[in-house]
Amino acid sequence: MKSYKLFLLPGDGIGPEVVREVVRVADWFGKAGLVHFEMETGLVGGCAYDAHGAAISESDMALAHAADAVLFGAVGGPKWDAVPYDVRPEAGLLRLRKDLKLFANLRPAICYPALAEASSLKPELVEGLDIMIVRELTGGVYFGEPKQIIDLGNGQKRGIDTQVYDTYEIERIGRVAFELARKRTNKVTSGEKRNVMKSGVLWNEVITALHKREYADVTLEHALADSLAMQLVRAPKQFDVIVTDNLFGDILSDIAAMLTGSLGMLPSASLGEADAKGQRKALYEPVHGSAPDIAGKGLANPIAMIGSFAMCLRYSFGLGTEADRIETAIANVLASGLRTADIRGNASHVTGTVEMGDAILAELAKS
């Protein structure tokens, strides 16, 4: 039986609860004799800060580098609102992305038919929705320098963030988007603000040139990021793959998540460049956050986390059939009417995290 090394970083809030369900799914594959996962667990975010004063320790960073894939839960919460900026919970996640060079963030927004009712949009607008947001993850305003607050000495301060993109960064994320589109419905929409930002002008130029040179068979459309946000809620099914920068991708993927019924539904994969053996560093995380208001209550929806594990099987280990089995199990459980509170819709009864995990495991066993 093949064996892979997973490094688990459950983090804060509902992170540990949803990661626990993924561990059960991963163990199931081992018990079924299909594939074995060796799992080790570390600390990230507020819990890491409490334990050793940093958002992630050097030894956990080393384990993340050594693993075949990292499974990440969520970080942050009001408890750490006042900790210094450099060691705030989110710094752990940003360091993982940067140090592992995970430049490509894939956020698929799929609206399961059974959930069309749970979306805040009209069911006919979202039913059958299947879009892929490709977010650049290691550049732009998240990491650009200078990034600081300076004292102007006259009772005024100045906050500075720097939006910066080089050609190679735009090209490599563009390539990921075009390659994915070829396996889907062959359309890419590229979003930037070329009407206001120089980095947007360059983004547009580089994507256009790459398309002409290597991907002329794919339909390419450009959109201004604000208009893209509007179109996403007006007529989301017009999109296939959306490629955009780090900050716009952060915002647009939250919108896309809500189209699917709940933030609790959206998985994600963060991938690095393939090495000589075709292996990529990778981290898988749900798009939802730590949800401190429901943490520890057993109410969280584990589907985005379990869906992230399915992405891990598909993108890191080439286990497409096994990933399909998980995704089908999720779809069947939703079709059966089982709902956590976040996707309640009109359901009269809501279920908890573990019961949702149980139901998905039972479906897997049947498949």
Query: What residue ranges bind ligand IPM (CB under 6 A)?
Result: 90, 93, 250, 287
Closest distance between ligand IPM and the C-beta of residue 250, in Å?
5
Distance of CA 186 to the CA centre of its chain: 22
Buried b / exposed e over 104-123, threshold 16 CB at 10 Å, is bbbbbbbbbebbbebbebee
* Angle in degrees, CA 308, 311, 313, rounded to 5: 115
Q: Largest Cα–Cα distance of the chain, in whole Å?
A: 69
Quote the tokens at residue 107.
């956020």
Q: How far is the CB of 45 from Mg ion (least distance, A)?
A: 14
User: Which residue, chain included where needed, has tokens 């339909």?
Assistant: 219
Fill in the per-residue mask, 121 to 160: x = in contact with Mg ion (CB under 5 A), - = not in contact: ----------------------------------------
In terms of CB distance, is 268 or 332 closer to ligand IPM? 268
Task: Give 93 or 361: the residue with its C-beta nearer to ligand IPM.
Answer: 93
Give the integer Cα–Cα distance in Å for 210 and 232.
25
262: DSSP letter: -
CB 136 within 8 A of CB 244: yes
The one catalytic residue in 49, 193, 215, 245 is: 193
Complex with Mg ion: residue 188 or 266, whichever CB lies closer: 266
Rg (CA), the chain: 20
**250 given a catalytic annotation:** yes
Nearer to ligand IPM, 93 or 304 (CB): 93
**CA separation, residue 336 to residues 17, 77, 113, 173, 340 (Å):** 23, 34, 12, 38, 13
Q: Which is nearer to ligand IPM, 44 or 306 (CB)?
A: 44
Distance of closest approach, residue 268 Cβ to ligand IPM, in angstroms = 7
Q: Which one of the listed residues 27, 68, 161, 254 is annotated catalytic?
A: 254
Respond yes or no: is residue 27 known to be catalytic: no
Of residues 223 and 287, the one with the C-beta less far from ligand IPM: 287
Angle at 358 between CA 253 and CA 271, to 5 degrees: 35
Cα separation of 69 and 258, whole Å? Answer: 27
CB of 287 to ligand IPM, least distance (A): 6
Q: H or E segment at 331?
A: helix 320-335
Mark whether 151 is an active-site residue: no
Stretch that binds Mg ion, among 10-18, 47-55, 246-254, 346-354 (CB under 5 A): 246-254
Q: Which stretch binds Mg ion (CB under 5 A): 62-70, 102-110, 143-151, 244-252?
A: 244-252
Binding mask 194-233 for Mg ion (x = CB under 5 A): ----------------------------------------
CA dist 49 and 55 (Å) reads 5
Instruction: Match 């988007």 to its residue by tokens.
Output: 177
Binding span for Mg ion by CB under 5 A among 191-199, 249-257, 267-275, 352-360: 249-257
Catalytic choice (12, 60, 240, 250):
250
CB 94, min distance to ligand IPM, A: 6
User: Is 250 an interacting residue with respect to Mg ion (CB under 5 A)?
Assistant: yes
Strand ranges (E), 28-169: 36-41, 69-74, 104-110, 130-136, 144-151, 157-162
Axis-axis angle for helices 303-317, 320-335 (nearest 10): 160
- Residue 31 is inside which H or E element, if any? helix 15-31
- Of 161 and 179, nearer to Mg ion (C-beta) is 161
Catalytically annotated residue among 226, 237, 324, 358:
226
Which of ligand IPM, Mg ion, none binds 93 (CB below 5-8 Å, type-dependent)? Answer: ligand IPM
Q: Is 60 tagged catalytic?
A: no
50 is catalytic: no
Q: Which residues pair with 5 in a beta bridge?
A: 38
Minimum separation from the CB atom of position 355 to ligand IPM (A): 27
State the pairing for strand pair 157-162/144-151. antiparallel
List the single partner that 90 binds among Mg ion, ligand IPM, none, CB under 5 to 8 Å by kind: ligand IPM
Nearest to ligand IPM by Cβ — which residue? Answer: 90
Q: Indicate which residues carry an active-site annotation.
A: 142, 193, 226, 250, 254
Binding site for Mg ion (CB under 5 A): 250
